Amino acid sequence: MDLRSALGSLPANPRVVVTGNHAVPWHVLGLVDETLDEYRLWALNAPKGIPDRDGVTPESSFVGPGMRRHPRLSYVPSRLSLVPKLFETRLRPDAVVLHTTPPRDGKVSLGAEVNVLPAAIEAVRRNDGVVIAQTNREMPWTYGDAVLDLDWVDVLVEADGPMPHAPVSVVDEHSATIGNLVSQRVPDGATLQAGIGAVPDATLHELTGRRGLRVWTEMFSDSVVALERAGALDREVPITASFLFGSPELLEWADGNHRVEMRRTEITNSPSLIARNPAMTSVNTALQVDLFAQANASRINARIYSGFGGQTDFIVGAMHSLGGQAFIALRSWHPKADTSTIVPMVDEPVTSFQMTTVVTEQGAAEIYGNDEREQARQLIENAAHPRVREELWEEAVELGLLGHP
């Protein structure tokens, strides 16, 4: 079957699931857009540059820059761990467009992006849809659930091209302070989950002196390689992740590396499986945290900015782990909005709650195990910016959380 025939077999206004994040198969996606007058384009964390015209309905459960503020956006709230269930039920895909390695011994590898794709492929097969793969020699070969038998693929399109790389992360003073505060609380033998960005990078780079660390995460970047090279990771335990993004050196290191075990979202983001890891340590961020220890990491002015993602999955899993910790790490003051990130009450839908500790450059507020009054006091005294502490004390009194300080 060729590409045009495959696309011609689809129903009207089909749902097309495409590899998202940092591995979009741009060449084939362009051909899809040229061929289909009308379709629903489903992608996780879609970058800028995806098709944007009448007839295309962008759809996602985690909104990236390419869909943010889009007037036709169909946002379907869901924890990342539950997206595969959506593909089985409410959001059945008609086609999946993958970005893979070239074939090898009757198989291809999904490389840098596994995530929800295996579930989407299985759903398409149940729905008599089509699976299309753009093969690219620059895609690293990874193992685990990344390996896909060619029998599952209907159309292969060769299109080599460079993989996107993460910009060099500059760790500012506040991020370094936050990273140091978090790292001090991570013991030898802990299991790590941390994404990309200045605070996770700062945290992980502070852990190069630890020993016996493990990695069970949604994604990872170059900071994990730094831990590996420093001898901080347990060499007997694979590095488990669902997608990766970083420098060209990271992709080269991951290529053919049996230490890296790429797993589907139902595994990496399962709270019960996360909880089985010893001293599971989850490091996430937020836009706001309020005095009830509720975090908003998804919306700005009621409009969706990102989504639940894996934050809720990992916070729940880490809190159930023996010796586990769930950190929300953020700056106490938002420089662009010129406002405090510690607020009396979040005025947006809540993304997560009941973390272990909230960490800012001001210090660490201990949350779990304290009553609500002590939680509020900890947030005001140890996490909030000094400019707003007096105001927060007054709001806490009005909310019945505190007496007068």
Q: Annotated active-site positions, please?
A: 218
DSSP secondary structure of 146-174: TEEEGGG-SEEEE---PPP-PPPPP--HH
128 lies in the same domain as 179: no
Q: 405 pLDDT band (50/70/90 cuts)? A: low
For residue 253, the model assigns a pLDDT of 98
Clarify whether residues 128 and 202 are in a common domain. no
Please tell me the predicted confidence (pLDDT) of residue 198: 82
CATH number of the domain within which 119 lies:
3.40.1080.10
51 and 177 in a single domain? The answer is: no
Read off the pLDDT of each residue in 73-78 and give the average, rounded to a whole number. 96
Domain edge (last residue) among 135, 158, 181: 158
Per-position b or e across 354-391, b if 16+ CB within 10 A of its CB: ebbbbbbbbbbbebeeeebeebbbbbbebbbbeebbee
Q: Given a cut of 90, is residue 403 above it in pLDDT?
A: no
Q: Pick the closest to residue 57 from 32, 77, 38, 40 (CA basis).
A: 40
Identify the pLDDT of residue 167.
82
Number of domains in the chain: 2
Summarize the confidence of residues 128-155 as an average pLDDT.
Answer: 98
| pLDDT level of residue 396 (50, 70, 90 thresholds) | very high
Per-residue pLDDT, 265 = 97
- The model carries a pTM of 0.95
Supply the range of the domain harboring residue 354.
Answer: 173-398
| Of the candidate ranges 132-141, 161-170, 355-364, the one whose mean pLDDT is the lowest | 161-170
The answer to whether 247 and 132 are in contact (CB under 8 A) is: no
What is the pLDDT averaged over residues 247-267? 97
Boundary (domain end) residue, out of 133, 158, 183: 158
In a domain, 164, yes or no: no
pLDDT digits (tens, 9 = 90+) for 10-24: 999 999 999 999 999
Cα–Cα distance, 356 to 68 (Å, whole number)? 30
Domain shared by 199 and 108, yes or no: no
Rounded to the nearest integer, the mean pLDDT of the chain is 95
pLDDT tens digit sequence for 179-201: 999 999 999 999 999 877 788 88
> 302 is written with which tokens?
């009621």
Strand order in the sheet with 260-262: 143-144, 260-262, 239-241
